[in-house]
Amino acid sequence: MQYVLAVLYGLVFGIANIIPGVSGGTMLVVFGCYDKVCGALSLNFKEIKKNIVFLIFFGIGAVAGLLGFAVVIKWLFGNFPTETYMFFMGLIAGSVPLILRNATSRGEKFSPLCGVIMVLAAALVIYLSVLEKSGVVASAADVEGIGAFALFLIAGFIAAVAMIIPGVSGSFIMMLLGTYETVIASIHIHSLNFAVIIPTAIGVVAGLVLGARLITFLMKKFRLWVFAAILGLVAGSLYAILPAGFGLNIDTLIGVAALALGFMIAFIVGKHTEVERD
């Protein structure tokens, strides 16, 4: 039974990492296997040996969740782009209370410097989004050659580091960097785009291995600064992923309902998620 549960945990973790605004790290906390997985990712061989069977079955479930749900997301973007983006906006906004609880769970309070970091992070996201929408900066779909390889590798690395943090979504980071749709579109059982998949996979693996150690260090030394930057990124992303079809039309009206649904889902999940207090 424990192996079946390991596969199910991995499946949910994989699906969570496909959906912007939903945190894979949060799912690990909810299932009580955060330490097991992070111990393995940080190449703690003692932990790997101790939990090797669990990790194998968990990995099988995670891969199945990632590949299977990617097809669903691709279909949603192709048929309901405005509604899908607004649903994701709701998920992202609804995750803010959980991020705040994680940030202040040890009794610490945000300083004025944290406010500055938050504003700068939000401003950076909005600025980059404006440049991309105005055509000054190319989108991920327009980048080719070595530039594309580097972009997908870096985006995969940053997203993987982010997904380790409970309350933070790796897919949200990829959406923020403009690579999310291209990566999702590249994953199809009949037509895999390895020019996108390979650099992204390299970045993700490197990010998971190095990120587990990096995040541990940053959270110990600059915990509130990290969360302030995350909150700024989240705020800025709500503008960055605002769909092109947004306006007074039926798609937007349905999108508003989707946004509200996404917010409620993320808020309720966050409300029932325990946060780390030591």
277 in any annotated domain: no
Number of H helices, E strands in the chain: 14, 0
Amino acid identity, residue 257?
A: A
Give the number of domains in the chain: 1
- Tokens in use for 179? 């690579």
How high is the pLDDT of residue 78? 82
Tens-digit pLDDT profile for the chain (278 aa)? 777 888 988 998 888 888 876 778 767 766 767 777 877 877 777 778 888 888 899 999 998 988 888 888 878 888 888 888 888 888 888 888 888 887 887 778 888 999 999 999 888 878 877 776 665 544 555 555 677 888 899 999 988 888 877 667 788 788 777 788 888 888 766 677 788 889 999 999 898 888 777 777 777 788 888 888 888 877 887 887 777 767 778 888 999 999 999 899 888 877 776 665 55
How high is the pLDDT of residue 119? 94
69 in any annotated domain: yes
Contact yes or no for 236/121 (Cβ under 8 A) = yes
114 in any annotated domain: yes
How high is the pLDDT of residue 28? 78
Which residue range(s) make up the domain with 68?
A: 2-271
What residue spans of 95-222 are helical by DSSP H?
96-104, 112-133, 145-163, 170-176, 180-186, 194-221
Pick the closest to residue 7 from 49, 68, 50 (CA basis). 68
Mention every residue, 6+ apart, whose C-beta is less than 8 A from residue 159: 170, 171, 173, 174, 177, 203, 204, 207
